[in-house]
Amino acid sequence: MNKLVELVITVPEPFGAELPYKTQTRTTLGVLTQLMARAKKKIVLAAPFIQIERSLVNGPIADALQAAIKREVGIDFVSTGQSLQALRQLDWLKSSHNGVRFFRSTTNINHEERLGLMPNFA
């Protein structure tokens, strides 16, 4: 069995696309977008802090999620109450009634200042 391992990095500006190119790695944004574009049944996006304005209003992740909704792929968002409330205000999510669900940890429900057990994954 041939297994492929790829190094994925999140690159701060001003290095942008240059550092991944030089190090033969992939960017987190590129990998997440590709996974969402290829999803057939379900996407689970879990992150304690979702940067709504930076990633879900415009850009490749927003485009990939909207395309997934059109393909009838279910999307589960797992985050804090504050992030989930902001997500619910996105026009393209408001108009999507089927297959989009929101979850938060019991710890965060009981204590807004605490995250609870919440890994970052997609």
Tokens of 107: 């710890």
Mean pLDDT to the nearest integer, 12-33: 85
User: Rounded CA gap, 73 and 94, in Å?
Assistant: 16
pLDDT tens, position by position, 37-93: 999 999 998 877 677 777 777 888 889 999 999 999 999 988 888 888 888 888 888
Predicted pLDDT of residue 121 = 45
Closest by alpha carbon to 99, among 71, 80, 79? 71
User: Rounded CA gap, 35 and 116, in Å?
Assistant: 26
What rounded mean pLDDT belongs to the chain?
Answer: 81
Domains in the chain: ranges and CATH: 28-110 (3.30.870.10)
Contacts of 87 (CB under 8 A, 6+ apart): 50, 52, 56, 77, 79, 93, 102
User: Rounded CA gap, 43 and 16, in Å?
Assistant: 26
Predicted pLDDT of residue 40 = 94
- pLDDT above 80 (res 34): yes
For residue 122, name the pLDDT band (cuts at 50, 70, 90): very low
User: Rounded CA gap, 115 and 81, in Å?
Assistant: 9
